[in-house]
Chains A and B, each alone.
Chain A
Amino acid sequence: MIRTAVVIVLFLATSPARAGEDDWFPTLHLQPRFEFGPYYATGCGCFDRWTWSAGFGGALELQRFLQLEGEYRLGGLWFPGSGYAVTSGWTIGLRAALVAENGRWTDGIYARAGLLRMEVPASREEWHSGGYGGVGYSLPVVGDRLFVESELVLNVVPGDLGHVAPVLRAGLRVPLRL
């Protein structure tokens, strides 16, 4: 499955882009991601575990300052020296560039925010809702066809499994030009 996903991403990234007449159309981006970070449990008032997930999502770029994004993620919670729990879930939110396009390195700075739903099978309430927000940087590596992105994101979930998780995210962004 991973090999298939890699093949698709590379295929899309290296396919010839059509310039010109359809540039103004909304662009769909594929966004595979990985995130990892410490987990602050609000019940304990302590950092007591680590969280990670691999996500596969997309963003619909309506314009530079308005993109709709969503992601499905699979991951886990790791309890150092003891065990782990599997998690899954999805996010939906908005993404926007933070500066107007000026041809400089700052073009790649963006912000993201939205809602997240987290499923933890081994819990009384399997679904836990919260939000996320963060900033990232998008670095073009193959023209405008493939970007490497890294982000600092805060995942916040109140309630029974209340926690705050400042995570580092890294991944690719592949514009689709159908």
Chain B
Amino acid sequence: MFFRRTIFNISIFWYIGFIIIPLCLLLFLSFQKIGNYGEIINNFNLGNYERLLQYSQVKVFLNSLVLSFLTMLTCVLLSIAISYKLYFLRRTQSFVLLGFILCPFVINSIIRYYSYRLFISPKGLISDWFDWSIIPTDVVVMMGMISSYLPFSLIPIFIGFLKFDQEQVESCFDLGGTKLQLLFYILLPQLKKYLFSGGILVFIPALGEFVIPDLLGGAQRIFIGNVMIDQFLKFRNWPMGSAIVFTLIFIFLLFLIIQIQIKKIKIREVK
């Protein structure tokens, strides 16, 4: 019994100390105000959240939401296309191809952005033949986002395709369906939950992204990540930063609840 109690205490200490207490601190800080000399003044007010509702801040949130939504959409569509192609190959072949597609994603993210930036710079590999300046920075940022978030949606969606009931596919072909009909009428409607979880896995981290817009876009358009880092590290306005973080966490929890709800439905269907 002593052993059980020890491991229980250790794990509860970890979660309380490093997840729950910081969360509470964050909530507490977000209702404070900052003084003239950067000190935190202890009086309860909603000023930070009111400031978040101003037009400029709402625009930042909208920027981020649009960027992550577009990233999610493209990633999911690309993943569907890739896994649909891989689905009809032999197993070993499809795994080798998947490995080829996923291989660059295992290396350090900063190196990846570095090589992308080198690629689009005037010294890049194809810059002699192709003028990169005609492509707007927003598109470059989007390309960076897609290329770094593709695995998050590709892996769940590919697993969904792999798990799919083979008999249904055969009966579709027996009844004279084409491959595209198979995709739109049979595969996609039944793989909805995999598409959804793949999308969420892209959407949530993309919302807090800071490095890609900063390095590839030259920080021309401001996203939540940039604002957060500025508030915490540059202006030292921690209460304001906490308010932003808390709003983000609120959005994440919303998605988490949706995800759990979907899982529950899935379990019920199985039962």
**A and B bind:** no
Interface residues in chain B, defined as those with a beta carbon under 8 Å from any beta carbon in chain A: none
**A residues adjacent to B (C-beta < 8 A):** none
